[in-house]
């Protein structure tokens, strides 16, 4: 009798989780070398691990200023991790397959579909190739626009370098910046808060990078004909528009007598727009986050929790999950027989996955916040803000990341990792090989509400 050979392959979720873990560890070891530090000394492992996790998971939280602590070698290591983390290590690995004309097998195609949160496996290689080409185009265009401002201020070589670095960081929704050398550590883009060229270029890169590769392909195929788009694209674009406009209006109201006081109407609108875009999930800031009103901090946390869209460089629970949760509420409130949107019905399995993802992410943020509060003297609001920022891979901070608290760094490192890999995907890494339960239990109602 033939003995069935046991497959040595990991599950797809396991491979994705392990892939990011290996990338983070390699990055941390490179940052530990004296060559990466301006002091010429070995940087402590936990600080390097935190920075590598933040870069690979395109977050932007940092234990110390990127420009003033790391050499150009260290900065290049960081920006390479950002690029790989933004596109996904599976997509990057395909560059080499394309270069050496290697055949892309079914398993690699499936892994690419899972890592990129794509809908279909058909045409996945073509979509990945287009994603790479468009990424280079948008990053090059963004860098060229930023260079218009940076070269006159910083000189030719530095201006080009800064343009490329910040364009990649913005497109990949990372939030790392090099402005500490010029305007002081931790200043991010505060110096450019009323500069339309820099602010709008960064915002455009964040939005384009955050809507997802699948949406780009749909827009490229159907132009501006909204009715021809797939349901996923319609949901993503509608949610993105509502969140950006809604956030801008709220920040205009909440900060009118605070950070926006004394500004012209145009400057207020620009600053509010930037503040609405960057929590989804870029991490650049054009204002001092700690000086925001409590209402603005709450709005920022909500935007960080939602994040960008599936199959993009952004984190968070994603716009589609947010929309589906609203649909579930409406579905229950109206006692409708179907959950539908844009004339299409959403199946129960999709709703179940969205609800699971929402509850799991919120639970992880809550647990992380409780752990930070129990191991430090940080306030509850500050701990919640930092936990939302880490889990949503955003990078906005109220100071906890740079406080030097070792316990907080460990907790935030875990949240950043789970936020990028996906808490649900990480859990599936331990269970996806398990056979589904065949036994069906008797049904009994539970009172709700």
Mean pLDDT of the chain: 85
Nearest CA to 112 among 92, 130, 98? 92
By percentage, how much of the chain surpasses pLDDT 70?
Answer: 84
Calculate mean pLDDT across residues 87-103. Answer: 59
Full-model pTM: 0.88
Mean local confidence (pLDDT), 54-81: 93
**pLDDT mean over 190-196:** 94
Q: How many residues does the chain have?
A: 449
The pLDDT, as a whole number, for residue 119 is 57
Instruction: Report the percentage of the chain scoring pLDDT > 90.
Output: 52
Mean pLDDT of 105-114: 57
Confidence of residue 3 (pLDDT cuts 50, 70, 90): very low
If pLDDT is split at 50, 70 and 90, which confidence band does 110 have?
low
Q: What whole-number distance in Å separates Cα of residue 253 and Cα of residue 263?
A: 13
Q: What is the pLDDT of residue 302?
A: 94
Tokens of 197: 């060229």
323-335 tens-digit pLDDT: 999 888 887 777 7
Supply the pLDDT for residue 97.
57
- Is the pLDDT at 89 greater than 90? The verdict is no
| Residue-wise pLDDT tens digits, 392-426 | 989 899 989 988 899 999 999 999 998 887 755 55
Looking at residues 156-184, what average pLDDT do you find?
A: 93
Q: Using the predicted structure, report yes or no on whether residue 4 has a pLDDT greater than 60.
A: no
| pLDDT at residue 11, rounded to an integer | 59
Average pLDDT of the residues in 242-258? 95
Domain locations in the chain as residue ranges:
12-120+130-423
Per the structure block, which two tokens stand in for 176? Answer: 């790392």
Residue 294: CB atoms within 10 Å: 9
- Between 197 and 112, the more confident residue is 197
Closest CA to 84 of 164, 128, 17, 20: 20
pLDDT of residue 305: 93
């Amino acid at each position: 009798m033939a003995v069935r050979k046991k497959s040595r392959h990991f599950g797809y979720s396991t491979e994705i989780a392990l892939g990011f873990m290996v990338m983070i560890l390699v990055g941390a070891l490179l940052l530990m070398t004296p060559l990466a530090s301006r002091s010429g000394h070995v940087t402590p492992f936990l600080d390097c691990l935190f920075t590598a996790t933040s870069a690979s998971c395109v977050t932007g939280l940092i234990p110390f200023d990127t420009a003033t602590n790391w050499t150009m070698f260290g900065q290049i290591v960081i920006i390479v991790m950002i690029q790989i983390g933004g596109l996904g290590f599976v997509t990057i690995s395909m560059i080499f397959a394309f270069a050496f004309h290697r055949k892309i097998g079914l398993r690699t195609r499936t892994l690419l579909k899972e890592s990129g949160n794509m809908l279909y496996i058909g045409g996945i290689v073509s979509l990945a190739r287009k994603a790479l080409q468009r990424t280079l185009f948008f990053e090059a265009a963004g860098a060229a626009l930023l260079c218009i401002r940076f070269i006159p201020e910083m000189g030719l070589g530095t201006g080009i370098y800064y343009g490329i670095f910040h364009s990649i960081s913005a497109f990949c929704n990372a939030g790392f910046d090099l402005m500490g050398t010029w305007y002081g550590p931790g200043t991010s883009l505060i110096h450019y808060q009323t500069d339309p060229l820099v602010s709008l270029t960064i915002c455009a890169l964040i939005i384009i990078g955050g809507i997802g590769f699948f949406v780009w392909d749909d827009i490229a195929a159907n132009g501006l004909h909204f009715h021809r788009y797939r349901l996923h694209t319609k949901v993503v674009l509608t949610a993105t528009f509502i969140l950006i406009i809604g956030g801008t209006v709220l920040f205009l109201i909440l900060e009118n007598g605070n950070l926006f006081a004394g500004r012209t109407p145009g400057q207020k609108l620009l600053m509010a727009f930037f503040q609405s875009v960057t929590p989804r999930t870029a991490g650049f800031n054009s204002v001092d986050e700690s000086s925001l009103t409590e209402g603005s901090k709450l709005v920022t946390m909500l935007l960080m929790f939602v994040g960008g869209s599936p199959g993009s460089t952004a984190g968070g629970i994603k716009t589609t999950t947010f929309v589906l949760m609203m649909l579930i509420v409406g579905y229950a409130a109206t006692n409708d027989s179907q959950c539908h949107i844009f004339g299409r019905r959403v199946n129960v399995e999709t709703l179940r996955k969205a609800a699971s993802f929402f509850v799991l992410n919120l639970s992880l943020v809550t647990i992380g916040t409780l752990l930070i509060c129990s191991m430090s003297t940080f306030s509850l609001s500050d701990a919640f803000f930092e936990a939302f920022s880490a889990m949503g891979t955003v990078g906005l901070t109220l100071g906890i990341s740079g406080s030097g608290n070792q316990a907080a760094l460990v907790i935030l490192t875990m949240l950043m990792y789970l936020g990028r890999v996906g808490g649900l995907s990480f859990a599936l890494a331990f269970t996806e090989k398990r056979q589904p339960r065949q036994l069906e239990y008797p049904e009994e109602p539970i009172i709700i509400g």
